[in-house]
Structure 1
Amino acid sequence: MGAIPDHDNAKNFLDAIGQRFVESDKAETGDLMDKFMNMKYDGVCGVREYIMKMLYISSKLEALKVSIAEPFLIYHILNSLSSQFNQLKVAYNAQRDKWDLNDLIAVCAQEEYRIRRETVETVQLTHQPSQNKRSSHNRKGKFHKGNKPHYNQQNKGSGGQTSGGPKGIMKKNDKCKFCKKKGHWQKDCFKFKAWSEKKKTSSGINKETEAK
């Protein structure tokens, strides 16, 4: 593109190309330092992967001649963790022994496992009472105030009287033995009642005649 001057020597020509693409070490160092100091654990990836990423950035700074002491690195990593790790931070500050980077990774991974397990148990305990409440509500909902049992229903075809057992229930095929019509029994048949009254009257007259 004409940005590189012509050279008769290939080595000088390649050196000239390299000088056009030299990056500033200061700019890279500043970018890495900003990234390292502003990192915060968000809980998306595992805490082990998060610490390894911070160690990778510190190793790149070491290559750029920016040395980071291990105690400062450990404190910075602990402070960048979320509030769920506050118990671990207090435990580290209270004890006399100091951790190295391998101890830090192992302890943080174990603490993250404990936090996740307690979270799952809390969710299960919160969810179970609501399920029992819904199931009991569904069982109660099957019984309504207006519902009546089968055995309290009255037989409308028996003149409004309630019989004491299965014999008092009118069936479709039942019929009167006197008039041979369906829909009523002999005791409710008006023809049978009229015949009975007539019979009683005639029998009474006959007895009076015999007495005379």
Structure 2
Amino acid sequence: MSSDIAIAKAFLQDLEKRFAKSEKSEIGTLLASLVSMRYKGKDNIREYIMEMSHLASRLKALKLDLSEDLLVHLVLISLPPQFNRFKVSYNCQKETWSLNELISHCVQEEERLKQDKTESAHYASTSKDKRKKRKDKEAADTQPPKKQRKNPSDFQSSGCFSCGSDGHMKKQCSNYHAWRAKKGLPGLPKTK
């Protein structure tokens, strides 16, 4: 019976070795994810930074400890161009922020950007509408009414385009053929 247990233990240990993840590959995957993360501006910035922090804590569990300063810089690097003024402001300060301070400041900046975006969108839409109305009114006052196009079937019944008389088309018009000959243009193929 004890030999069966020893065999089972050996079998389970062997099985564990075969299915165990390599710590090095997991560290590489997590680190690549952390470094390649980019904030798109669609989600909540607090959740985004917490997700980066979670990846850093998973790396710490695998014995790769990233300092909080490094994580703060990784977050700042991953922010989109809308946050450029915010990044410059951070870089001009002498003190460094903790991760919690960074989250707080980023949330404030995100709110400020949303307000600016709403105000500029409102401004653009109202001024655009005024200009369009003004242009439409000016165009209506200055332009003569457009000529209406005739129906293609009306052209056949109206006669020759060259001399304007009824009874023949431009291809059969003697005046048109004479004009082409005078200009040195090749003649048209004869029609029946």
Give the TM-score of the pair, scaled to structure 2: 0.64
* Of 87, 99, 103, the match for 1:101: 99
Query: C-alpha deviations, 1:65-121, integer Å up to 9, x for none?
Result: 001111111112112111111111111111122211111001001101111110111
Equivalent residue number for residue 61 of structure 1: 59
Name the aligned partner's letter for residue 114 of structure 2.
Answer: R
* Deviation at residue 18 of structure 1 after TM alignment: 1.6
% identical aligned pairs: 36
| Counterpart selection for 1:28 from 18, 26, 29 | 26
* Bigger mean CA deviation after superposition, 81-90 or 124-133: 124-133
Q: Secondary structure at the match of 1:66?
A: coil
Q: What residue number does 2:37 align with?
A: 39
Q: Which residue of 2 aligns with 1:83?
A: 81
* 1:37-186 → structure 2 map (5 Å cutoff): 37-135=35-133
Distance 1:32 1:145, change over 3 A: closer
Distance 1:76 1:137, change over 3 A: closer
Amino acid at match of 1:82: P
Q: Which entry has the higher C-alpha Rg, 1 or 2?
A: 1
User: In 2 relative to 1, CA 124–12 (structure 1 residues): closer, same or farther, beyond 3 Å?
Assistant: same
For structure 1, which runs of at least 5 residues remain unmatched after alignment?
Answer: 1-6, 147-212
After superposition, the CA RMSD in angstroms is 2.4
Instruction: Give the number of the structure whose residues are more often helix, by fraction.
Output: 2
The alignment covers a number of residue pairs equal to 140
> TM-score under structure 1 normalisation?
0.58
Larger RCO: 1 or 2 (CA < 8 Å, sep 6+): 2
Q: Give the gaps of 5 or more residues in structure 2.
A: 145-192
Aligned equivalent of 2:4, options 1, 8, 15: 8
Distance change (3 Å), C-alpha of 1:136 and 1:109: same
